[in-house]
Amino acid sequence: MAMRRLARLVEDQELKEKLARCNFKTVKDVLSLSPLQIMSTLQLSSEECEALLDRLYASCVPKYQSAFTLSQEEEKFSLSLGSNQLDAMLHGGLHAGTVIEFAGPAGVGKTQWCLHTAVRAVLSGESSGRNTSVIYIDTETAFRAERIVEIICKRYPESEPRISECLSKIFLYQPSTISNLSQILETLEVTAVEKDAGLLIVDSIASLARKEIMAGSSQANIARVNQLASWAARLKSIAQQLNICVVVTNQVTSRFSDKEPVITGEANEDEAETSFSTGVKENVYSTHITPALGNTWTHCVNTRLILQYDGSNSRQLIIAKSPVAPFAAFSYIIGAGGIEIKGIEPRIVYFVSYCMRFLSFDLG
């Protein structure tokens, strides 16, 4: 709360200009000073200083609401993913005020889900009267406007005459460094209000962190954790304060784990393949993939949707973490009209086991 931007809290234009001249950007910048320092720096009277402090302190106190009000808001500000089954499982789709993660290997369709979601946000907003603009942060230069056009023409031909209007409501950033992304996130709250945004997409959150801060040394790990914590705090603050949906994509990494030492050569049908015993104990390692960025990032995500190949032309979306939905898997394909969700998968044992692996933490 203390990192809220002053530009959204202060209405008096003259006071805004004074705060800007003194380089006061957040609530914390002002509240870290004594009342006397504030009066002197901003040239305010005691009454004006007291009124400013009252407003800033009030902005730092979380407001309560009833469970009924919360349920009504969730129903009103949820974004459909285009499948009745999946939307019902998620209690309406993607909810405003939350951070949703799509995680999966390269080429599985993470960017396609982002484009699919952006199109649905723009088009559904027109009919519902909600915020319709989308802010799209593309760290891998994977965004293609022509793909948006193709999805609309093939999937929503009735909206084809309004393609230019739809494209004008998607605002694109393409940061190439950690510093660029941090600067964008610092000013994003004001931008989201100005553009009347209802959806924020970051594709991908892992790319720059893994590229610039190589894991290995303790200092590098600490730097990565601190950077991710800073980004996560900003994204959660934007989602909650502006009541918009934040969608991020994440890469995956391999994770190794020790098993109990076994005697090589024993007739163990699970571990050994030889028919004689050497009497030598060896450590056996298992490996599986898990979303990147580790424990810190995992706790910042409200809903985690895992994307994977299922060995055929279709792919799977797995609800691995959700405050409202149970474990479930849905098959989908990627076509000219974007994401097409086929239905819920019956292979319960397989995907539950797979999801449990994804919920384990790593430091990748």
Are 30 and 155 found together in one domain?
Answer: no
- Domain membership of residue 284 (yes or no) is no
Longest Cα–Cα distance in the chain: 90
Which one of 43, 60, 77 terminates a domain?
A: 60
Phi/psi of residue 16, each to 5°?
Answer: -60, -45
Are 24 and 166 found together in one domain?
Answer: no
Are 180 and 317 found together in one domain?
Answer: yes
Q: What pLDDT, on the 0 to 100 scale, is given for residue 75?
A: 57
Tell me the C-alpha distance between 265 and 280, whole Å: 8
CB-CB contact of 316 with 301 (8 Å): no
Tell me the C-alpha distance between 333 and 349, whole Å: 22
Are 122 and 173 found together in one domain?
Answer: yes
Q: How is residue 316 written in tokens?
A: 């799977």
Angle, nearest 10°, between helix axes 178-194 and 205-212?
160
CA-nearest of 301, 308, 295 to 364 is 295
Domain of 237 in residue numbering reads as 69-251+292-358
Are 119 and 147 found together in one domain?
Answer: yes
- Domain membership of residue 272 (yes or no) is no
Beta bridge partner(s), residue 339: 334
**Where residue 314 sits, what CATH number does that domain have?**
3.40.50.300
- Domain membership of residue 262 (yes or no) is no
- Domain membership of residue 269 (yes or no) is no
- Domain membership of residue 1 (yes or no) is no
Tell me the C-alpha distance between 150 and 160, whole Å: 10
Per-residue pLDDT of the chain (364 residues; tens, 9 = 90+): 556 777 667 777 888 888 888 888 888 888 888 889 888 888 888 888 888 888 888 777 666 667 766 666 655 578 999 899 999 999 889 999 999 999 998 889 999 999 999 999 999 866 555 557 999 999 999 999 999 999 999 999 999 999 999 999 999 999 999 999 999 998 888 889 888 899 999 998 878 877 776 656 677 777 777 888 888 888 988 898 888 999 999 887 766 555 444 433 333 333 333 333 344 444 444 445 677 666 777 788 899 999 998 866 779 999 998 988 888 999 999 999 999 998 787 654 444 444 444 444 443 4
CB-CB contact of 81 with 94 (8 Å): yes
- Domain membership of residue 236 (yes or no) is yes
- Domain membership of residue 196 (yes or no) is yes
Q: How is residue 245 written in tokens?
A: 């949906």
Q: What pLDDT, on the 0 to 100 scale, is given for residue 257?
A: 52
User: Is the full-model pTM beyond 0.85?
Assistant: no
Are 210 and 353 found together in one domain?
Answer: yes
Are 152 and 39 found together in one domain?
Answer: no
Tell me the C-alpha distance between 364 and 358, whole Å: 13
Are 125 and 242 found together in one domain?
Answer: yes
CB-CB contact of 237 with 4 (8 Å): yes
Domain count, the chain: 2
Q: Which amino acid is at 167?
A: L
- Domain membership of residue 307 (yes or no) is yes
Are 30 and 163 found together in one domain?
Answer: no
